[in-house]
Chain A
């Protein structure tokens, strides 16, 4: 089940909320959340639930054992065993095919590569559970004695399948003690609606344009004129941000509705002015995960320049690999590694003397080309797209088709670009300030706050219905 589907918005979510609000004690509320989450997870295939249950059990047992043990060596041993086991399971499901393919390329063996279905959300909940065990080992948080409460954390439908990667220590307290404030609940609902509209209207709309202008299909991509490829990748750049940020919005919103406070996952990444800055704003829960659980334990920047670069290399290799079992993602990670090293070595110093706008353009160009690597898992398609950008596929600069598509979506594209900046938020704040200053009781502001989420819900509902529209040429009965 995805958040942006009819069945989630108009069936699962309302019913789970009603049940939740009829529960009186926190324990009852937690049980209702757990049951909802298990049903939500099972929707994508009940057999995968078993893996989630087992992986949670491993970390639960690991956490308890570490907590009870005083001997540092044994504690470390249990931690390592738990981590190895978890990564082995993740590796088996996510990377077996990839490694066998490499092996096949080198040795010709095995002849047939088995297809292993990736359990939904495994990349996210594995990392969540790992953060839990490590934090217990570091004594930053006590071990969770109850299996079902740890399962509630790992399976919670808000973030289980698409992030953000919530740290156990951030919500440990709230699992047992949380108070729902009315204002926060209202904010949570608004935040969810904003996320829903961001996904269904902005991300999906711009995604359709990306697929039409810079299609995934290699033959069609080869015949696309340069402007089409440029605009297509640009659309993709916004699609991927809006899509992901929308999921985080919805997760944070749903958390707020029931009293959980998740950290922000995006902070307007495209207004960054360096790659370093970009990664502080993009998928924050992932980059801080790698920082806290890989980079710093490896020694970070405390063991000399050479070691620091090695550590960065490892982190960005893993970051790339986490995004998918394919070379293009690894190259994508290492691509950013290169720029981060350059920035650390001298670029950031140089930037102090040049205008911000140029820094910003530099960042956008770097990120833009990065998304080409990210979009096409097939490396020859990456090459085709690059050639296409510079008109080397022999299709000229533009075409009537591309121009018509751009013209008939021009306002939408502008809205999407503006929507990816802090401008809407600033405008909302200005409006609120204006109302508060102008009126003793700012009814206008309150009414806007009341109507806006409903308006977004209506737009989103229409977009959901619109996405089921598939006309045929002949009667298909």
Chain B
């Protein structure tokens, strides 16, 4: 080959590569465009994120003119892109190479309020409660929640309350509550498990104490006892105090003592903090999820039983069910951390002796027959905690056919209550469960019309640090 020929060949090769440098990327873009246009393969739900993905916007002239419509299309286009889960997983893999990951922190980094010195704490004032007009009472002190627009839920009309108990005739449409989801503040990952950093919020704590105390003041003349169960979260139980402090996590023991002291004497406070701490080598909390296990709930139940003066069952009295392969909310919030993926949880559930049947009313107002402990084997890996009492439903009812003494209680809870409720079934003829985040009826009406003796509030430490959730408890507690 002479030089001229070689140069010509080199030029040709270069030209071919240049053509490829144009064609290959352009083909990639076009291929992705085509994939993006195959609407049926777009996902609509994300189970790991626990949300519906953005839907295609509805057209309106106003939205179109100011750009809202088009920007919603962009959002829909990106949020439901085909192969989204795989792409996200790829991204998580890339970001896991960003540094040394023996410990990780996800989310914002802030600090909680200081927990006031117990000596100076006085219980809240409920003297303003007009006990003759129980269901319309409002507290007097300054620690009312700021958002008084919830006041329409405070005074429920009879008609609305009826609608709640007879949902088939008048389904309740709920489109607002679920739009504003709760997300974690800070998630700390170490030793193959995750913890949510707890930030004490004094305003929320005060409002909470006010809410429960007021509820007790309203209903105790009717012979109803109000219990308040304070559930610690895993960071408070599993990590030593010094590590918690270094993470700026407020001390849950101190926080619970503060709240307990803030409550009026009528409220029966159940504080399982020390008991759980003393058992913290056991499987009390999930590593990949923010909930406690049924065992964590069980020790709390024994504390409750002691307070109420009943004999708790021992664990071997229950039939158990096990659902391995659980990757919960921490897994989602830690951008699907590998350390958690390799260490999935097992959900262990204890089936009540009296019955495993229940009824619940869902968000759309429909009534369903369900199991107290459902078989979660086929549930997807992110949803195994849903095996307890049908997950977070606004309203649930359990009737134990083996008890006929007319005993009844209401549990007012967030999702920590789900694992706890099954233990109550063998002690009451009727157990009513409301999730205060979604339930829209009146608590006092529910209590009085069903002749309940006990109202049991159950909240985890973090729910008590959110002014938003506490305001919802307040609205329900005084309704």
Contacts and interface: CB of A to CB of B under 8 A. Distances in A.
Interface string B177-202: 01101111010100000000000000
Interface string A459-477: 1011111111111111111
Interface string A396-413: 000111101111111110
Contact of A7 (B67, B77, B97, B437): B77
Contacts of B78: 5-7, 464-465, 467-468
Interface in A438-477: 440-441, 443, 446-447, 449-450, 453-454, 457-459, 461-477
A87 interface: no
Nearest to B32: A10
Given A43-B70, A182-B19, A466 B87 contact: yes
A224 interface: yes
Contact of A454 (B25, B94, B246): B25
Given A10-B36, A220-B109, A399-B248, A410 B99 contact: yes
B75 to A, nearest CB: 8
Given A45-B67, A466-B92, 11 more contacts: A9-B29, A189-B26, A220-B108, A401-B109, A408-B98, A410-B98, A440-B6, A446-B14, A465-B78, A473-B182, A474-B392
A35 interface: no
B110 A47 contact: no
B207 interface: no
B105 interface: yes
Given A10-B29, A45-B67, A462-B87, A454 B110 contact: no
A405 B98 CA distance: 10
Given A45-B65, A401-B186, A475-B391, A466 B25 contact: no
B26 A471 contact: no
Contacts of A409: 98-99
Interface string B37-69: 100000001001111100000000000111100
A306 interface: no
A1 interface: yes
Contacts of B186: 401
Given A6-B78, A18-B30, A462-B87, A441 B10 contact: yes
B88 A469 contact: yes
7 contacts: A5-B78, A193-B25, A228-B109, A409-B98, A409-B99, A412-B99, A465-B90
A145 interface: no
Contacts of A466: 87-88, 91-92, 95, 335
B36 A449 contact: no
Given A471-B333, A474-B182, A477-B51, A6 B21 contact: no
Which of B18, B35, B333 is most buried by chain A, counting CB atoms within 10 A of its CB?
A: B18
A299 interface: no
B174 to A, nearest CB: 10
Nearest to B331: A471
Contacts of A89: none
Given A471-B50, A476-B51, A450 B20 contact: yes
Interface in A1-56: 1, 5-7, 9-11, 13-15, 17-18, 42-48
Nearest to A474: B392
B341 to A, nearest CB: 14
Contacts of B18: 182-183, 186
A414 B90 CA distance: 22
A193 B24 CA distance: 13
A189 B36 contact: no
Contacts of B101: 408
A449 B105 contact: no
Contacts of A475: 50-51, 178, 391-392
Nearest to B85: A465
Interface string B1-17: 00000100110011101
A357 interface: no
Nearest to B435: A474
B189 to A, nearest CB: 9
B26 A14 contact: yes
Contacts of A280: none
A443 B10 CA distance: 10
Given A5-B74, A463-B91, A472 B17 contact: no
Contacts of A450: 17, 20-21, 24
A190 interface: yes
Contacts of A14: 26, 29-30, 32-33
B367 interface: no
A64 interface: no
A467 B91 CA distance: 9
B416 to A, nearest CB: 11
B51 A472 contact: yes
B427 interface: no
Nearest to B103: A404
Nearest to B30: A14
Q: What 9 A-B pairs come out closest when comparing CB atoms?
A: A45-B67, A466-B91, A465-B87, A471-B332, A472-B181, A412-B98, A186-B21, A446-B17, A476-B51
Contacts of A219: 110
A465 B88 contact: yes
B71 interface: yes
B184 A404 contact: no
Contact of B103 (A205, A407, A469): A407
A219 to B, nearest CB: 7
A182 B22 contact: yes
B51 A10 contact: no
A453 B22 CA distance: 10
Contacts of A43: 67, 70-71, 74
Interface in B331-384: 332-333, 335, 363
A476 B104 contact: no
Nearest to B83: A465
Given A7-B74, A189-B25, A411 B99 contact: yes
Contacts of B67: 43-46, 48
Given A471-B332, A477-B363, A190 B81 contact: no
A454 B24 contact: yes
A387 interface: no
A472 B50 contact: yes
B135 interface: no
B28 A457 contact: yes
B262 interface: no
A11 B36 contact: yes
Contacts of B92: 466
Contacts of A190: 21
Interface string A403-439: 0111111111000000000000000000000000000
A175 interface: no
A330 B359 CA distance: 64
A76 interface: no
B94 A462 contact: yes
Contact of A189 (B22, B32, B70, B247): B22
A2 B246 CA distance: 41
Given A465-B81, A472-B51, A182 B15 contact: yes
A254 to B, nearest CB: 12
A473 B183 contact: yes
A294 interface: no
Contacts of A42: 70
B307 interface: no
Nearest to B68: A45
Given A7-B73, A461-B87, A471-B50, A449 B17 contact: yes
**For A47, A401, A402, which residue has the most chain B Cβ atoms within 10 angstroms?**
A401
Nearest to B47: A475
| Most chain B C-beta atoms within 10 Å of own C-beta, residue among A11, A404, A407 | A404
Contacts of B32: 9-10, 14, 461
Contacts of A193: 25
